Structures are given as C-alpha cells and as structure tokens.
Chain A
Amino acid sequence: MKLNERSLAFYATCDSPADNAGFLYKRGERHTAYHRRWFVLKGNMLFYFEERESREPVGVIVLEGCTVELCDSAEEFTFAIRFGGAKSRTYVLAAESQAAMESWVKSLSRASFDYMRLVVRELEKQLEEMRWRPAGGCGGCRQLPGSWKSKPSGLERSPERPLALPTVLPKENGCAVWNNMPGADRPPDSSSCGGYDSEGNPQPPPLPPRRRALSSEAGGAGVAAAESTSIFCRLHEQYGQEVARLRQDWMEKRRGPRP
C-alpha cells in the first residue's frame, strides 16, 4: 500500500506541536538488541529517527487501535505498544528513567484520534450549554465519565474505535446536537497552518455546517431548517425575556424612586 511518505516526513519534522519527544530504546523485531532512537509523537503517529538531528524519520508507528502496557522485562523502564491482530507486531520500548517511561505511557495511551475527538466534543458541548444558560448558571461543572480519568498505574488502554457517526445527528433535549465537529466555513488559507490570528490568539473553529444550510440554497435544508428554527425560537425567547427585563428596569428608573 502506498503512503504519502514525503508528506509524512515533512509532518514529522515541521514545527507543528509534538505531544512528546525524547530518546527511547526500541527492541528489534527479529534480533532482540535495543537501538536508541529519537522518538517524536504527533497526534496518532509515533515517528522515530536515527538521530535527533536526522532530517527524515526511519519509521513511524500508526497508533490507532493500540494498547500500551508496562513490560515484565529484565530491562528497566520498558513498556510495549500492542496491537490486536493475531500476527501483529508488539513494539517494545525502554525509557531512560521512571519519569520518562510514565510520561510516554501516558501520552501514548491518549494518542488516538478518537480520544482527542471525544475531548473536543465534550468541550464543545460545555461551551454550548454555557451559552444557553442564563447568567449565573453553573456552566463548567460537569461530571466526567469515569473512563477518562487518568489512571495512576501504568496500565492504560486506548479506547476501542466507536462505530462511524450516523448520518442523521442524534438529538438532545429536543434539539439537534449543535455539531459533531466544527464545520468548514473556513477562510481560504486556513486548512493547514494558521489557526492563530496575527496577535497569536487562537482563531475560532469554523461555523458548524448547519449554519451554512440556513444561507445556502442547497439540499438538506428541510431537517437543518427545522432544527435551526427551534434553536432560533429558543434564542428569540431568551433574548426577548432579557429585553423585557431591561425595559422594566429602565422604566422603573425613569419613574424615579417610589415613595
């Protein structure tokens, strides 16, 4: 199977943020000697280089579907990246200290695409709920599903990949979930670099797809419009109440203090 290797090599060495980096000893596949390599974790890709200064990785481990385990080994600070298939290779790695080992096990356990997606969705939901609640509501305090708490021991698992998203968005509280992922109303140059404005403030993710349905003539308007209408009504009512309150305050102030 062909892979866009040149782009992969660029991704490995470009200045996009690394989730972890450092020297690890990697045990060979056939020969059990360990080789010291410079590892760089970006997202769900674990690259390894011959030297820290090497311009191209020797290889990459795609981490989707893996589990990370501590090893019962003569070597100190070893851990393994294991995959599910019958003939799958297990990558045995050794760190240079307890702290390094723990750091790697933690970051590799959280490296899957789905983990990141779940955290993003959770924050998105929190933000939406905060925007809907009247002032003074408790927006930020949510109970976590237990599985996301970081475990103190070294045994960590990457979650199984859930099924693909249904094409019709599930509804919550009678209204559709706002969006699954931020939509793609992006300015032309934003898909790779960027994400920050000139002052270094993070740019908002693009508008959710539903808003585009409002303004576009294209199909799918039926469901999207109905959802948008109910959200709009809620918004309208909420702002209406606020306006009514402000008006009342203003009128009372005009009348002056009561005797």
Chain B
Amino acid sequence: MRYNERELLSLARQPAEKAAEVLMRLPKKGSVLKKRLVKLVVNFLFYFRTDEAEPIGALLLEQCRIIKEEENVFSISFVEEPERKYCFECDSEEQCQEWIEALKRASYEFMRRSLIFYRNEIQKMTGKDPLEQYGISEEARFQLGTRKQ
C-alpha cells in the first residue's frame, strides 16, 4: 500500500503525547524482546531503535485491542488478527497501566464515540444540539448508529 512516508516521518518528530523506553517484541515467530523507544503521536505509535532519529515502524491505532498481559506487560493486537500481538514490557506496573490507558484513548474512533456520547447527553439536557454552532451537526460521522456509507 502506498503512503506518504515523508509526512509520517515528520509526524514522528512531533511532540509526543507519551514516550518511553520499553522492551518490545514483534508478532513474528521467533521474535525476542528488544529495547525500543516508543512514541505516541495522535493515533500512531512509532517505535525507534534507542539511538536512531528515524522510526523503524509505526502502528496505526485503529481497530486495535490493548490488553494487559503478565506483570508489566501489555500487548497491542488488531481486530482482524487477534493472535498477532505486539508485546511491550514496561519498567513498572504503573507505567504499564498508564500506557494501556493512553493507548486505549488514542484512536480517532474512540474520540468519535466520545463525541457522539457527549453530544447526546448535552442534547438530552438542553434540548439543543451542541454541534450546530460548529456547523457540523449534519455530518454522517457524528450521527448515532452511523455505519458504513
């Protein structure tokens, strides 16, 4: 699949929501834990060799599951291939929980659902649609129960 790598690399250099050195293992068979710098920027998780400026790779965090594995460890897997797990070992249980929380909130889809929920709540309380002032109330993506066009 073609993609605009230059812009993605530029995104990887932006200030991170969260960044840390952790041990990471790819889902490939025979992979071992390796020390990596992971960096959360918008809905991408970039991972770098600790001494390199350019990331080795990026994970788009949509349609994914963040699961607590054993102590200090969590995994990211994707809905269409749940057995293929990217594993991350943190320094502490606390750091592990912080990453799980941050990653679960990191998807665009999560934000969309939150927006729909808040919109609904505000509308119930005030009778007014809070999105009207933004001029986006008719957009399909913000409707309750929106599914594929």
Give complex CA distance A116, B108 in Å. 8
Contacts of B117 in A (CB 8 A): 202-205
Are B109's CB and A7's CB within 8 A?
A: no
Q: A3-B57, A192-B79 are in contact. Are A120 and B115 (CB under 8 A)?
A: yes
Are A191's CB and B60's CB within 8 A?
A: no
A-B pair count, CB < 8 Å, reads 232
Are A192's CB and B65's CB within 8 A?
A: yes
Number of interface residues of B (CB under 8 A): 74
Q: A119-B115, A191-B104 are in contact. Are A1 and B58 (CB under 8 A)?
A: yes
Contacts of B17 in A (CB 8 A): 164-165
Are B1's CB and A19's CB within 8 A?
A: no
Selected from A139, A184, A206, the residue in CB contact (under 8 A) with B126 is A139
Are B115's CB and A123's CB within 8 A?
A: yes
Nearest 9 A/B pairs, CB to CB:
A59-B2, A43-B108, A164-B15, A2-B57, A184-B101, A113-B42, A123-B118, A140-B126, A150-B135
Other A-B contacts than A16-B63, A44-B42, A126-B130, 8 sampled, CB-CB below 8 A, are A1-B56, A19-B139, A43-B43, A44-B43, A58-B1, A88-B6, A113-B42, A192-B64
30 inter-chain pairs at a CB distance below 8 angstroms, sorted by A residue, are A6-B81, A7-B81, A15-B147, A16-B62, A18-B141, A18-B148, A19-B140, A19-B141, A44-B42, A44-B43, A57-B1, A59-B3, A61-B4, A62-B11, A65-B11, A113-B108, A116-B111, A120-B111, A123-B115, A123-B122, A124-B114, A126-B118, A140-B125, A164-B15, A181-B114, A182-B110, A182-B114, A184-B102, A184-B104, A192-B109
